[in-house]
């Protein structure tokens, strides 16, 4: 059996603690993962720490000791995603979590088709499951900020991705401070308007494209995260070669 990882919603976890499992966690462990009493698993507190634990019975875990595992990236990527229709948001939440995003901020813009959502709890569950699958120590926070204007009141040190941008992505990236949260802003199916791009420029947000081709918004979210993750990982090398 592959290693089982489980996020536990407890305010405090420490060696020797007895943990009572929720109905949802019991279903995951014993129905989905086929675990049984006596098995050892890894539990995570969602705050950067992991622990080894033993299943006592179908409703109880005993915490054995703290793990020294360090998985999550040292930089802080925040995906700012305009709401999309259908199941595209499920895909983005799952894959962004696997890549290592620390937070996902949802908003609507002028060309958004979806203006409201009641799926926050569903998306939080998807993020939790994706974090367990990808051996993350933290589950990304998912927050709705309503409008593009509200988003710009929060965001700095970021990049808005626009298909008509002319400045190379690497040049925009080099203007960022990677010791601070990096905000990556992705538009809706119809893209951002010229007015929205200008508002972002006025806030000092960099504008970049993802290449010559026009790609879908859900594709852009994953590609931008992967590229910026790679650039952050190689930041020192890139700076040396400027």
Q: What is the pLDDT of residues 8-45, one digit of tens each?
A: 877 688 888 888 888 888 888 888 888 888 898 888 77
Residue 63: strand, helix, or coil:
strand
Q: What single DSSP character describes residue 62?
A: E
pLDDT for 242 equals: 56
> Do 61 and 151 fall into the same domain?
no
How does residue 1 score in pLDDT terms, banded at 50, 70 and 90? very low
What stretch of H or E contains 161? strand 158-161
> Do 49 and 89 fall into the same domain?
no
Q: Of the candidates 67, 86, 105, which is a domain's last residue?
A: 67
pLDDT at 185 over 80: yes
> Do 85 and 49 fall into the same domain?
no
- Distance, CA of 6 to CA of 204 (rounded, Å): 40
Residue 98: strand, helix, or coil:
helix
Sequence-distant (6+) residues with CB within 8 A of 160 are 185, 187, 192, 197, 200, 205, 206, 207, 208
Q: What is the dihedral of CA 176, 221, 192, 164, to 10 degrees?
A: 70
> Do 82 and 57 fall into the same domain?
no
Residues 172-176, mean pLDDT to the nearest whole number: 94
Residues 144-156, mean pLDDT to the nearest whole number: 91
> Do 130 and 59 fall into the same domain?
no
DSSP 127-154: HHHHHHHTT-SSPPEEEEEEEHHHHHHH
50 found inside a domain:
yes
pLDDT at 238 over 80: no
Residues 60-82, mean pLDDT to the nearest whole number: 83
Residues 126-131, mean pLDDT to the nearest whole number: 90
> Do 32 and 87 fall into the same domain?
no
- Distance, CA of 84 to CA of 65 (rounded, Å): 42
pLDDT at 58 over 90: no
> Do 43 and 94 fall into the same domain?
no
Could you tell me the two tokens for 5? Answer: 């990882």
Structural domain including 232 reads: 77-240
Q: How many domains are contained in the chain?
A: 2
Asked if residue 68 lies in contact with residue 43, where contact means CB atoms within 8 angstroms, the answer is no
Sequence-distant (6+) residues with CB within 8 A of 89 are 81, 83, 106, 117, 119, 123
Q: Domain with 32 in it: what CATH number?
A: 2.40.240.20
- Distance, CA of 70 to CA of 127 (rounded, Å): 19
Could you tell me the two tokens for 98? Answer: 């696997």
Q: Domain with 233 in it: what CATH number?
A: 3.40.1280.10
pLDDT at 181 over 90: yes
> Do 11 and 104 fall into the same domain?
no
Q: What single DSSP character describes residue 195?
A: H
């Amino acid at each position: 059996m592959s290693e089982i990882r489980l996020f536990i919603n407890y305010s405090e976890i420490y060696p020797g603690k007895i943990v009572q499992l929720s109905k949802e966690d019991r279903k995951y462990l014993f129905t989905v993962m086929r675990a049984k009493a006596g098995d050892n698993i890894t539990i995570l507190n969602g705050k950067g720490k992991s622990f080894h634990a033993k299943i006592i019975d179908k409703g109880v875990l005993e915490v054995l000791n703290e793990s020294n595992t360090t998985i999550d990236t040292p930089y802080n990527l925040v995906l700012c995603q305009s709401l999309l229709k259908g199941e595209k948001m499920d895909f983005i939440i799952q894959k962004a979590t696997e890549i290592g995003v620390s937070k996902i901020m949802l908003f609507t813009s002028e060309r958004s088709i979806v203006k409201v959502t009641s799926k926050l709890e569903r998306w939080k569950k998807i993020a939790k499951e994706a974090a367990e699958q990808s051996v993350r120590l933290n589950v990304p926070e998912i927050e709705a900020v309503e409008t593009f204007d509200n988003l710009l009141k929060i965001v700095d040190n970021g990049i808005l991705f626009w298909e008509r941008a002319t400045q190379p992505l690497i040049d925009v990236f080099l203007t960022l401070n990677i010791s601070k949260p990096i905000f990556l802003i992705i538009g809706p199916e119809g893209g951002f308007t010229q007015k929205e791009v200008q508002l972002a420029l006025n806030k000092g947000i960099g504008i970049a494209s993802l290449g010559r081709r026009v790609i879908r918004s859900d594709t852009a979210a994953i590609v931008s995260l992967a590229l910026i993750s790679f650039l952050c990982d190689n930041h020192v090398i890139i700076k040396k070669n400027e």
